[in-house]
């Protein structure tokens, strides 16, 4: 073939490729996310609201991220009167690809959202305005919970006191502002396992409470599945580097030697009824493990979590929990 023909063919191929890429970019920019709304309706019985209160404050710990925290004290106890107010910031300094701030989830912001819109935001990460949420909020995990549990949480957050506050919108950095649009997917809920199967029930609670997110090493903000629960995720704190410990049942480097009673006691030790979080000195370790919220978990639920963690394959991983800067 003549050289000129080759140039034409190549030129044509390059133009076609440019068109395809542009088409994909336009599709992502203007057509995604597009998770359909489901026909669901909250049944706000006193029992459902109570179940939702328990989950939102002590298991799925929604209030951990959507309230103001006293970060000058150990584990950042939520400040009374700020429940659901929003405004906690997760930004580049902490290793996030942009600046994300938790929205207000009191009725002040959500009263004109339908139940289906709130359900979709929590379980799929698509906001009411079609905004794709960044999975700081573990919506992939929430999307696998029992629909009844999510509906109870919605019933509860509709009852919390109104707080007038409008935190700034999140601002994902390029290219995450494009990529994030691909993330929202429809929920694929399961039925909550029976409590008599403590390992299965424990697995459900672990999924609901996001343990895996913090207790697994991450690359580019995504956890490495093969290293699940073996710790090693680093968190940059103002005065040091915090690294999550290994919570697989490895005897030497994990929680293999921790008895069920000690595990439960460890959590219950932070019950705000008897525990007052101490003010931190400049060199003290701060933690993002929401001990104070989890402390409200029922003993039977903590026991199930222990049973599940102890059913996992032990993984050896030595972690230095705190390096003071």
Q: Which residues bind ligand HEC (CB under 6 A)?
A: 56, 60-62, 64-66, 90, 100, 102-103, 105, 109, 118, 121-122, 127, 133-134, 136-137, 142, 153, 157, 170, 206, 209-211, 213-215, 242, 244-245, 247, 255, 287-289, 294, 305, 321
Report, in Å, the least distance between residue 35 CB and ligand HEC: 13
Contact of 163 with 120, CB cutoff 8 Å: no
Contact of 247 with 309, CB cutoff 8 Å: yes
Report, in Å, the least distance between residue 25 CB and ligand HEC: 20
Distance between CA atoms of 259 and 257, rounded to whole angstroms? 6
Nearer to ligand HEC (CB atom), residue 17 or residue 260: 260
Write the CB contacts of 205 (distance below 8 Å, at least 6 apart in sequence). Answer: 59, 301, 304, 305, 308
Nearer to ligand HEC (CB atom), residue 16 or residue 61: 61
Report, in Å, the least distance between residue 206 CB and ligand HEC: 6
Report, in Å, the least distance between residue 234 CB and ligand HEC: 9
Nearer to ligand HEC (CB atom), residue 47 or residue 262: 262
Nearer to ligand HEC (CB atom), residue 1 or residue 129: 129
Report, in Å, the least distance between residue 187 CB and ligand HEC: 12
Nearer to ligand HEC (CB atom), residue 9 or residue 265: 265
Closest CA to 105 of 79, 124, 127, 90: 127
Report, in Å, the least distance between residue 104 CB and ligand HEC: 7
**Residue for token pair 């919506």:** 139
Closest CA to 157 of 111, 210, 89: 111
**Residue for token pair 């700081």:** 136
The torsion of the CA quartet 211, 214, 220, 222, rounded to 10 degrees, works out to 0
Distance between CA atoms of 234 and 317, rounded to whole angstroms? 14
Nearer to ligand HEC (CB atom), residue 15 or residue 92: 92
């Amino acid at each position: 073939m003549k050289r000129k023909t080759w140039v034409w063919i190549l030129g044509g191929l390059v133009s076609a490729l440019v068109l395809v890429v542009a088409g994909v970019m336009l599709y992502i920019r203007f057509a995604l996310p597009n998770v359909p709304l489901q026909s669901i309706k909250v049944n706000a019985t006193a029992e459902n609201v109570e179940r939702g209160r328990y989950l939102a404050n002590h298991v799925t710990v929604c209030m951990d991220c959507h309230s103001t925290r006293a970060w000058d004290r150990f584990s950042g106890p939520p400040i009374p009167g700020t429940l659901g107010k929003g405004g906690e910031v997760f930004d580049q300094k902490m290793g996030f690809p942009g600046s994300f701030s938790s929205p207000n989830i009191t009725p002040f912001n959500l009263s004109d959202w339908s139940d289906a819109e709130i359900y979709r935001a929590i379980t799929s990460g698509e906001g009411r305005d079609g905004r794709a949420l960044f999975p700081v909020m573990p919506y992939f995990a929430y999307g696998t919970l029992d629909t009844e549990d999510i509906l109870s949480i919605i019933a509860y957050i509709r009852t919390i006191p109104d707080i007038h506050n409008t935190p700034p919108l999140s601002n994902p950095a390029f290219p995450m502002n494009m990529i994030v649009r691909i993330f929202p997917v429809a929920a694929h809920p399961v039925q909550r396992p029976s409590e008599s199967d403590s390992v299965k029930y424990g697995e459900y609670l672990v999924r609901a409470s996001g343990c895996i997110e913090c207790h697994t090493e991450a690359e580019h903000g995504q956890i490495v599945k093969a290293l699940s629960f073996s710790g090693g995720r680093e968190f940059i704190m103002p005065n040091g580097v915090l690294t999550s410990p290994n919570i697989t049942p490895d005897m030497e480097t994990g929680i293999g030697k921790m008895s069920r009673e000690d595990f439960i006691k460890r959590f219950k030790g932070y019950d705000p009824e008897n525990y007052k979080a101490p003010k931190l000195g400049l060199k003290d370790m701060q933690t993002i493990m929401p001990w104070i919220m989890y402390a409200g978990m029922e003993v039977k639920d903590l026991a199930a979590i222990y049973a599940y963690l102890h059913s996992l394959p032990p993984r050896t991983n030595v972690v230095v929990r705190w390096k003071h800067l």
